[in-house]
């Protein structure tokens, strides 16, 4: 793939991931045109002020719920990075219909509009919460994954390619516990739901790099999963607020003790590479196109945050979060 000849559109382009992606794309990928698609005019204005006189950067106000608007936005686009979503677990639990409209119906709109407009490739961002989902957010993202994978059957062999990335918590993203802990430490007390809790961990820049790498490798139908470290929630609290008292408040509705990136059932169609995993689609249109360096996982293998072999220490977390500065 030649980014410099591509017209790229990122949905949710003014969100946490979108802003990071735009920064890297403008500095390194240098696409012919980069379109920021989002529904927040104020955030688009702020981004426009941050990147003055960048003629290759365009702004398109719209909502992925609006299929007509998507058709207009995707005209002439080569590559779509789909990052728009309702992602706050409590908000999705309280507003389930709205979560479905954005995360599921919006995904279907992107698939149909991309096929109709002749987009070459679409990469959708998913989450570890889509694996054996316990909350509505995870359930909608699982459904979206299924939609994007099966979208390849509708586009045909020479049509639009659809693939997904699936990864865990991104440090400092909106709704991240990092922001909560930083606000709470001023009071001298940190609220922790359960001291046994573990999570996967990625920095914003690592997430962007992984997405870019997946776009360059995708053939249509894969779910790409990175190898990333785990962290203990108590270690994160120590890294951010070592002097604070821990207040154990109990697990919230829809929350897991540990997260999964690959389930035991998925291991039957997953392969491992040096820096990640690839989950193949169980579809008749998928022919074996596995990279030469990949090895099949054993049946029943899981990739879970509590059984991971790579962990971040308190010192690692402080360094990654810039708390040593």
Cite the active site residues.
129
- Give the C-alpha separation, 146 to 87, whole Å: 18
Run of H or E residues at 34: strand 33-38
Which residues on neighbouring strands pair with residue 124, listed in sequence order? Answer: 82, 164
Dihedral (Cα; 110, 152, 168, 89), 10-degree rounding: 40
Indicate if the alpha-carbon torsion angle 302, 276, 230, 131 is positive or negative.
Answer: negative
76: three-class secondary structure by DSSP: coil
Bridge partner list, 246 = 190
d(CA 304, CA 302): 6
**Cross-strand partners of 200:** 230
Q: How far apart are CA 257 and CA 278, in angstroms?
A: 25
Largest CA distance in the chain: 59
Using DSSP's 3-state secondary structure scheme, residue 323 falls into coil
Using alpha carbons only, give the angle 67, 143, 282 rounded to the nearest 5 degrees.
Answer: 115
Q: Which of 212, 44, 8, 195 is nearest to 125 (CA)?
A: 212
CA–CA separation, 124 vs 215, rounded Å?
10
Contacts of 190 (CB under 8 A, 6+ apart): 181, 184, 237, 240, 241, 244, 245, 246, 247
Which of 242, 250, 291 is closest to 270 using CA atoms? 291
CB 14 within 8 A of CB 36: yes
CB 77 within 8 A of CB 5: no
């Amino acid at each position: 793939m030649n980014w410099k000849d591509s017209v790229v559109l990122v949905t949710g382009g003014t969100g946490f991931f979108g802003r990071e992606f735009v920064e890297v794309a403008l500095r390194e990928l240098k696409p012919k045109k980069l379109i920021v698609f989002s529904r927040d005019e104020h955030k688009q204005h702020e981004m426009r002020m941050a990147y003055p006189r960048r003629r290759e950067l365009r702004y398109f106000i719209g909502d992925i719920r609006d299929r007509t608007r998507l058709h207009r936005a995707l005209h002439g686009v080569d590559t779509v990075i789909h990052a728009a979503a309702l992602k706050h677990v409590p908000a999705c639990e309280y507003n389930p219909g709205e979560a479905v409209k954005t995360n599921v119906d919006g995904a279907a709109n992107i698939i149909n509009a991309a096929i109709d407009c002749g987009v070459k490739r679409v990469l959708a961002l998913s989450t570890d919460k889509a694996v054996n989902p316990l909350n509505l957010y995870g359930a909608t993202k699982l459904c979206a994954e299924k939609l994007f994978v099966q979208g390849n059957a509708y586009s045909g062999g020479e049509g639009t390619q659809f693939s997904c990335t699936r990864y865990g918590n991104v440090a400092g993203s909106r709704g991240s516990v990092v922001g909560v802990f930083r606000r709470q430490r001023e009071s001298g007390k940190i609220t922790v739901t359960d001291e046994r809790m573990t999570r996967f961990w990625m920095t914003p820049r690592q997430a962007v790099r992984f997405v870019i790498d997946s776009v360059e490798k995708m053939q249509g139908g894969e779910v790409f999963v990175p190898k990333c470290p785990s962290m203990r929630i108590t270690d994160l609290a120590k890294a951010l607020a070592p002097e604070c008292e821990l207040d154990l408040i109990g697990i919230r509705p829809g929350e897991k003790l540990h997260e999964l990136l690959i389930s035991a059932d998925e291991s039957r169609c997953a392969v491992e590479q040096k820096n990640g995993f690839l989950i193949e689609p169980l579809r008749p249109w998928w022919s074996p196109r596995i990279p030469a360096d990949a090895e099949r996982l054993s049946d029943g293998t899981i990739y879970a945050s509590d059984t991971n072999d790579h962990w971040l220490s308190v010192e690692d977390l402080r360094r990654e979060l810039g708390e040593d500065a």
